[in-house]
Amino acid sequence: MRDDIGQGKIILPVKISRDAVINVRALLSHPMLTGMSRDQAGIPIPAYFVNDVVVTYGGEHVAHFVWTSGISRDPFVGFSLRASKEAPLTITWKDNKGGVYTQSADIKFGAA
């Protein structure tokens, strides 16, 4: 098994201005096994995938994704967000074996 499971990453635009709609990209290291494949000995590999993703922005619930194993390995999701305040953006991924992975990034307005 890979040893980097659960490493999350949030990519934000370099410059963010107030009330702009920005593009947030989030990536998680996860094998997303469907449970349909077998290993070399012919034993089925059990399903292991992220099925629940929650996005909060400054403590406020913003989005909720329900996934099946049909999402690709190392699940990637890009979505929009209105940058209304300077606050941390937190994404929590949960998998079907009870794993919970959290990653957050701070939304800050332009450096100038």
Partner 1 sequence: MRDPLSRRTFFKSSALALAALAVTGSGVGASPLVRGPDNEPDEQVKKVLREKFGARQIREGHVTLDVPDVAPDSREVPLLIECDLPMTASNYVKGIHIVVDHNPDIYLAGFDFTPAIGAATLDTRIKMRRSSQVRVIAETSGGELWTTSRFVFTSLNGCV
x/- string (CB under 8 A) for partner 1, residues 71-90? xxx-xxxxxxxx-x------
Rama region for 97: left / alpha / beta (φ>0; ψ in -120 to 50; rest): alpha
- Shortest gap between Cβ of 98 and partner 1 (angstroms)? 20
Count residues binding partner 1 (CB under 8 A).
30
**Is 64 among the residues that bind partner 1 (CB under 8 A)?**
yes
How far, in Å, are 6, 14, 61, 70 from residue 17 at the CA level?
31, 10, 21, 35
Distance CA 75, CA 89 (A): 18
Residues in contact with partner 1 by CB under 8 A are: 21, 23, 25, 34, 36-37, 57, 60-73, 75-82, 84
